């Protein structure tokens, strides 16, 4: 799990905060869709991520998104399904928490 977290930090550095946030939102939706799908055992996380990326970015993915996809796919190889889902959800939440500005006192 530590290697996966490190990969996500590297990904954020590579993409920049805004692009990383958008990509992780797609990854988070993909995890949610896989969890609610009837055929969980027949479909990989990668398939759900592909669908979300194509919906958001269209069929022509930029090189940065392709690299992000490859790094995320590598995480699916490092972790089992539950660990992957937990890691992605935690990364999405951490990203959301870091972009929320504290309200003025």
Would you say residue 95 has pLDDT above 60? yes
For residue 38, the model assigns a pLDDT of 64
**CA dihedral angle for residue 47, residue 51, residue 52, residue 54, rounded to 10 degrees:** 130
For residue 73, the model assigns a pLDDT of 93
Query: What are the angstrom distances between the C-alpha of 84 and each of 8, 79, 101?
Result: 12, 6, 28
Residue 32 near residue 52 (C-beta atoms within 8 A)? no
Residues 31-88 pLDDT 10s: 999 988 866 555 688 899 999 999 999 999 999 999 999 999 999 999 998 999 999 9
For residue 79, the model assigns a pLDDT of 93
For residue 40, the model assigns a pLDDT of 56
Read off the pTM: 0.85
Residue 4 near residue 90 (C-beta atoms within 8 A)? no
Q: 99 pLDDT band (50/70/90 cuts)?
A: confident
Give domain limits for the chain. 2-98
């Amino acid at each position: 799990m530590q290697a996966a977290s490190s990969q996500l930090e590297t990904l954020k550095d590579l993409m920049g905060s805004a692009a990383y946030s958008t990509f992780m939102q797609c990854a988070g939706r993909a995890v949610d869709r896989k969890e609610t799908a009837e055929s969980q055992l027949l479909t990989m996380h990668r398939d759900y991520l592909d669908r979300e990326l194509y919906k958001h970015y269209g069929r022509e993915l930029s090189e940065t998104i392709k690299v992000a996809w490859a790094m995320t796919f590598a995480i699916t190889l490092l972790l089992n399904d539950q660990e992957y889902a937990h890691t992605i959800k935690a990364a999405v939440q951490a990203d959301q928490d870091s972009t929320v500005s504290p309200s003025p006192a």
